Amino acid sequence: MTDRPTGLERLMAMMSGQNPPPQTPKAPTPEEIAEQRNVLVANLMAVAEMLAPVFDHADGIRHELTRRGYSSQHAEQVAMVWLVSTVQTIGSAQGAS
């Protein structure tokens, strides 16, 4: 993508005593910006696709509890707790792989 050193490469150079002269960062080209934008959009769409069933299920929990006579505030709170714990579980599983 670019020939700029990464943060890790700069850190490793500093640790080994090879301090390169400070350089002004090169501005990304329009092609690099477009590529990064496309990658970001694709990743956000993948996350939205992965989480859509989870949000739908949380809505189902809320509707079912309301149907059973729970107050809308309690149903919302239970669904929110379930949603947060499920998203945390998904996030920790994704981080472990």
CA dihedral 7, 13, 18, 20 (to 10 degrees): -20
The domains of the chain are located at 7-96
**pTM over the 0.75 mark:** no
Q: What is the pLDDT of residue 40?
A: 96
Per-residue pLDDT of the chain (97 residues; tens, 9 = 90+): 566 767 777 777 777 777 666 677 788 899 999 999 999 999 999 999 999 999 999 999 999 999 999 999 999 999 999 999 999 998 887 766 6
